[in-house]
Amino acid sequence: MSAGMDAPPRRSVLMIQLGGLYGIWLREVKRAIRDRGQLVGGISRPILWVLILGIGLNPYFRGEVYGEVTFVVPFTYLQFIFPAVVALNIIYTSVQSAVSVIWDREFGFLREVLVSPLSRGTILLGKVLGGATVAVMHGCLVLMLARFADVPLTLGDVGRALGLMALLAFALTSLGVVIANRIRSFEGFGVFSNAVILPLYFTSSSIFPLNPALTGAQTRVVYPEWLVTVVEWNPLTYAIDALRGILIGYTQFDPMLGISITAGAAVLLFAIALNDFRKL
């Protein structure tokens, strides 16, 4: 019998890979849904940020010129920070979902999956898509507060926002897997992931705007030069800015730049994660 006749049909191989991809994706989603801690965090985090930070800092987000009160940008602080809170929920959920890599490695499940007919790319893609799906769901929890934040949304806005949220979630879940591949303990992962998340978020122009009326040179006079440089080199800056453009119609950069950088980061981080995954 020829080698060609012994080989399984390509359609059969494809169905095995797709079935495995679905199974891993579903496992990740179900595990996250059953985790009440994640759900509580996904609900409480945006409420605290919107209610306390958004409302509390709103008076400081405006100035008074000739007796007339004006906002630093043509939005209230609650509206300005709303897209950033959506991104915050996605960031935390995406990166933390990658702890399942450590869990599966610790208890032997990953070893069993790696010896299955599934390719390493299929296994990794299933885990990343599962984490990204949960992260987008947590981002949607924030979108439900849009009316409270006085952010009017159309179905078109929601659709475009979901697309960008999915892209951002995919990139950040891949980043979480990269971290998990290098950290061997649950405790170490939690500490190191927070050491990555917080600087990324706070230096992404998420909670304060760079004045779009200023030139690059003027911006470096108003703000510390090192801070402006970090903000401009932070990929998350452009993702949040693009999301802000979709949700409230305000951007500091070209919206397509945010989409392009987020897509590039997603491809790059997944490639790094896959390279690490093949060494397991």
* CA angle (14 as vertex; 10, 16 as ends), nearest 5: 120
- The helix (run of H) or strand (run of E) holding residue 120 is helix 120-143
The pLDDT value given to residue 2: 47
* DSSP for 204-218, written as a single string: TTSSS---TTS-HHH
The pLDDT value given to residue 1: 43
Q: What are the structural domain ranges in the chain? A: 3-277
CA distance 236 to 202: 10
Are 172 and 91 within 8 A, CB to CB? yes
Cα dihedral 96, 250, 242, 56, rounded to 10, equals -10
Largest CA distance in the chain: 91
Structure tokens at 8: 């399984």
CA-derived radius of gyration, the chain? 21
* CA angle (40 as vertex; 146, 89 as ends), nearest 5: 50
The total of other beta-carbon atoms located within 10 Å of residue 75's CB is 19
CA distance 210 to 4: 62
The pLDDT value given to residue 7: 54
pLDDT (tens, 9 = 90+) of the chain, 280 residues, equals 444 455 557 768 788 888 888 988 998 898 888 877 777 777 777 777 776 777 777 766 665 444 444 555 677 888 888 999 999 999 988 988 888 888 777 776 777 777 788 888 898 999 999 999 999 999 998 898 888 888 999 999 999 999 999 999 999 999 998 988 888 777 777 777 788 888 888 888 888 777 655 556 656 666 777 887 888 899 999 999 999 999 999 888 888 999 999 999 999 999 999 998 887 6
Convert the pLDDT of each residue in 197-230 to its tens digit: 888 888 888 887 776 555 566 566 667 778 878 8
The pLDDT value given to residue 60: 61
Structure tokens at 67: 């007796």
Tell the residue number behind the tokens 């915050």, with chain if given: 88
